């Protein structure tokens, strides 16, 4: 009958629907179970497995005889290719205890599904191995600390011999050189005028401008056969603490002011054959200022000697660029105003002129300097140094 057939078909349809629903539920439950097994159920592969292994490792170390202070855990922890690598060092009494703990660790790792990534390798008293536990790995050093021997005492340190200076090369036998001496700061007084005039005539005298005795000193020294140089005041780095005196070249001056100052100073010192700088650690390092100075010297046919009061000086370069005959001071005679120090510097000047061929030495018109030079300069020829006027050494 139609009604009975329809009811039978409906019951069959509901049975099929219920079967499909039960199958889907079973599949979902299976999926959840697999996921949970993958996350936490596999031994040694989840975070909890690694943590359990660390606890188990401590227990195995204690069973092998390691005390709490003998286990240095997680020193350091590094992340390598996404895996946290934990470094452990465990100290044990002897090699047998090391072997026993090694075997126990390997067995425990494999029981938990871990792998032995590296080792075991024995080096000396230590055995090294790596245990891979999924997201974490353990780098283990198992060391037989009880078998370590006391370190051999280091040999008593002996003090090394003091360094010896490399001996300076000696001038070749018979070597001779030319030495020029220029005495600065003349013009302040006439007290040393007679003694200075009695020095060998090759000694040059550099006279400061605009001082009470500038003209008198220049005239008298010229009459006694000495070259006269203008000791041109120039600005030092520590101005105004150090004052170069009247007629100084300052870097703040305009071109006209610098040129006029140079001309006035030259006109104030009679018989000038050249110029060297008085102070000037700042001005002699200024190419702008020194170029205008050298152009004025070139116009008068004068020479220039760079006193080199700073390593940054460009004065000699500026002079050569303008065609002014020039040279530089290589030895200061009397930075220390004692007879012994001056003799030592004079010895240096003699040595260098014999080695290099020529040297300009600069000192000051001071009592001790004049006394030492009066005694020592006549001996120079016998020592291989020929005393010449400063103008012979400008090129």
Give the tens place of pLDDT for each residue, 41-63. 444 444 445 568 888 989 999 99
Q: Are residues 113 and 197 in the same domain?
A: no
The residue among 149, 140, 143, 144 whose CA lies nearest residue 94 is 144
Range of the domain at 361: 177-393
pLDDT of residue 14: 53
Q: Are residues 134 and 263 in the same domain?
A: no
Q: Are residues 241 and 113 in the same domain?
A: no
Cis bond before residue 262 (omega within 30° of 0):
no
- Domain-embedded: residue 117: yes
Q: Are residues 223 and 313 in the same domain?
A: yes
CATH number, domain containing residue 275: 3.20.20.370
Which single residue is written with the structure tokens 């005959």?
Answer: 325
The residue among 239, 248, 393 whose CA lies nearest residue 306 is 393
- pTM, full prediction: 0.60
- Domain-embedded: residue 2: no
Q: Are residues 61 and 100 in the same domain?
A: yes
Strand-pairing partners, residue 230, are: 207, 275
Contact between 345 and 366 (Cβ < 8 Å) = no
CATH number, domain containing residue 55: 3.30.460.10
Helix (H) or strand (E) holding 142: strand 136-144
Q: Are residues 373 and 244 in the same domain?
A: yes
- Domain-embedded: residue 156: no
- Domain-embedded: residue 166: no
- Domain-embedded: residue 222: yes
pLDDT of residue 11: 54
Which single residue is written with the structure tokens 């060998």?
Answer: 200
The residue among 374, 25, 385 whose CA lies nearest residue 183 is 374
pLDDT of residue 44: 40
Give the tens place of pLDDT for each residue, 178-225. 999 999 999 999 999 999 999 999 999 999 999 999 999 999 999 999
Q: Are residues 129 and 215 in the same domain?
A: no
Q: Are residues 186 and 245 in the same domain?
A: yes
Q: Which two tokens stand for residue 327?
A: 């040279």
Q: Are residues 246 and 322 in the same domain?
A: yes
Q: Could you give the 3-state DSSP secondary structure of residue 131?
A: strand
How many of the other CB atoms lie within 10 Å of CB of 229?
28
- Domain-embedded: residue 41: no
- Domain-embedded: residue 322: yes
pLDDT of residue 364: 98
User: Mean pLDDT, the chain, as a whole number?
Assistant: 88
- Domain-embedded: residue 20: no
Residues of the chain with pLDDT under 50: 1-4, 6, 9-10, 15-16, 32-48
Tally of structural domains, the chain: 2
């Amino acid at each position: 009958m139609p009604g009975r057939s329809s009811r039978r078909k409906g019951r069959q349809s509901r049975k099929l629907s219920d079967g499909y629903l039960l199958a889907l539920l079973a599949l979902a439950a299976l999926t959840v179970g697999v996921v949970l097994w993958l996350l936490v159920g596999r031994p040694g592969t989840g975070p909890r497995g690694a943590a359990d292994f660390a606890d188990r490792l401590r227990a195995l170390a204690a069973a092998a005889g390691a005390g709490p202070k003998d286990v240095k855990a997680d020193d350091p922890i590094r992340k390598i290719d996404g895996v946290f690598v934990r470094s452990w060092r465990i100290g044990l009494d002897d090699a047998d205890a090391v072997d026993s703990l090694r075997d126990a660790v390997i067995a425990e790792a494999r029981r938990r599904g871990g792998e032995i990534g590296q080792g075991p390798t024995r080096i000396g008293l230590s055995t090294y191995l790596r245990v891979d536990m999924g997201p974490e790995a353990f780098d283990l050093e198992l060391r037989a600390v009880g078998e370590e021997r006391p370190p051999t005492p280091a040999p008593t340190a002996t003090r090394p011999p003091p360094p010896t200076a490399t001996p300076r090369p000696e001038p070749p036998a018979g070597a001779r050189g030319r030495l020029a001496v220029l005495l600065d700061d003349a013009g302040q007084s006439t007290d040393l005028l007679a003694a200075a005039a009695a020095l060998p005539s090759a000694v040059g005298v550099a006279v400061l401008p605009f001082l009470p005795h500038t003209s008198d000193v220049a005239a008298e020294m010229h009459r006694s056969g000495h070259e006269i140089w203008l000791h041109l005041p120039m600005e030092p780095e520590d101005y105004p603490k150090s004052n170069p005196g009247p007629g100084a070249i300052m870097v703040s001056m305009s071109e006209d002011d610098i040129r006029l100052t140079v001309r006035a100073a030259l006109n104030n010192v009679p018989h000038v054959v050249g110029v060297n700088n008085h102070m000037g650690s700042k001005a002699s390092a200024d190419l702008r200022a020194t170029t205008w100075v050298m152009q004025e010297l070139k116009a008068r046919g004068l020479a220039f000697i760079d006193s080199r009061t700073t390593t940054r000086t460009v004065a000699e370069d500026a002079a050569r660029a303008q065609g002014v005959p020039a040279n530089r001071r290589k030895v200061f005679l009397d930075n220390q105003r004692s007879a012994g120090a001056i003799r030592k510097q004079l010895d240096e000047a003699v040595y260098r002129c014999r080695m290099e061929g020529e040297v300009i030495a600069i000192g000051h018109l001071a009592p001790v300097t004049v006394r030492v030079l009066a005694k020592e300069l006549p001996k120079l020829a016998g020592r291989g140094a020929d005393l010449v006027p400063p103008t012979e050494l400008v090129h």
